Chain A
Amino acid sequence: MVENIKAFSYHIGWRNRGRHPGRHASTQRGMGMEFRGHTTLLSYPDPRRIDIRQTIRDPLEQVYVRLFNQKSATPVYVICDLSGSMNFGAKTRKIKLAAEIAESVAHSASQNHDPFGFIGFDEVVREDWISTSSFKSHRAIAMAESLKDYHPPAVNCGGIADVYQYLPARERSLVFLISDFHMPNVMLEAALSNLLRHHIVPVVLWDSAEYRNLPEFGLTNVSDAETGEKRTLFLRKELRDKIIESFESRREEIYQLFMRFDMPPFFVEGEFDADMLTEYFHQFVAA
């Protein structure tokens, strides 16, 4: 199962405070390589770290030890939208794509010895779709696997406002927020304000059938996957152009909104390529 999952490499541009040894820069003193400073043997009684050069240079003849920062593990979370609109998708339903991304993230976190957690939400945060943070990613991957066959009912995504309560309150985490973000800007802004403590990577899932791969010509009825609102569409070139235009402006709108929160969005359309996510981290996150 795990063999098929493609991992990506990620890093964070900040220091975490995790005590658990890991791969990321940390503020935690410990058995790391990163020199932090000196202190007296009395305050840090570790004779292995006695710095002889510093000790003999001290006129007060105190014994000094060297301090190092360890590398710590950073909690990685996937917060996944399970609302009705995620059921959409021409080739692959968005929810399935989201599950693939979650699996990839879980696998990558496992490779980096980071704990991984999964939180699903629709109208509310779904307690049955929560996998608590763990260094063993199997449970989360199993959950993502079952997510592939999940058909969301027609519910909205109001739970995004409460999702911050399920993240560690004191520890900054790397959070992949997977959704199509088909929600009002006000709701999204309110939710993002509460998530500012964490490093958010918004993964925007759109499907080309939503706007670019519309049928050429014909009549169709559409109903909203969440509200059930009905519309009749007479698809023709004019309307298709307008729809594409509407989605492009929405893309720009979301981009501007995320950039105000300093969270560059990662757009996924139809297919998820883990390498692109690696690229994303190289581009937007200072090493």
Chain B
Amino acid sequence: MAGAPTLTDALRARAIAAGSGAVHDTAVLAERSDGTVVRGGGVVLKAHAADSDREALAQRVAVAAHSSLAGVLLPPLPYVSVLHGRPVTAWPYGEPVRRNTEPEAAPWEEAAVLLARLHSTPPPHALPPMRGPAKAARAVARMRAARPDAAVLDAWAGLPAWARDEAPSPSHRQALCHGDLHLGQLVRHPPPDGPWRLIDVDDLGMGNPAWDLARPAMWFAAGVLAPGVWCRFLGAYRAAGGPAVPGQGDPWPYLDVPARALAVQTAATAVAKSVAEGRVLDEMEQAVHDACRRMAQVS
């Protein structure tokens, strides 16, 4: 289409220049208002959200560059720019988890060990809070505007203020957290078969490390993820000495609140998307919505 060059066009041009220089080697990996990602050969450029706190983003990127996180977080390339009013950072290309593999084949143990190491590393400098609760609150606000779903709102109302981003996270049990863990946040570097690393520091910061375990925990609790897969993930985290839950016994006293919040976030996002796309919830989304409904019955 003709017209003014878009942000994606501009990113692509820069990615070609920064990467291999070969046009055929570019790909748009994500195209959203809070993250547009373009690959050019061995270089990936990310345009962050226009309203991102620039100073906080710089602090987060600096953590990924710090030597104490080498082997845990993919380090950035030394490049910072602004395009179309959005801050842009550069990263080496890493091989992502293949989307068509069975959930059992994903690197759950590797993800758990990386999280345990992240949570055990003292922050190298002052950092803003982990943005997990803020993202949950944002998803609920989006759902309220699209279609206020009573079951999801009830589950949200049952959460403590800190999990709804209405109060600071309790000061005990603070650790360096990723803030938005899912299987899209893991890449192998160098590609295609180097060691696994965590990517995407946009939500990284200080907070309750149980938040990073809570999305797989919620998938398991909602019946979306097989118990054996959850067992592998939790077992690897514990074996690596991760501090979010005790090494033995029932982890749910520690996981319950963040897992509820992530169920609400997931269900709220699903409701908003289903309204926008004029469809009903799919089976997985319905399973998480059902979990939200059960929360009101037991609390």
Q: Do A and B bind each other?
A: no
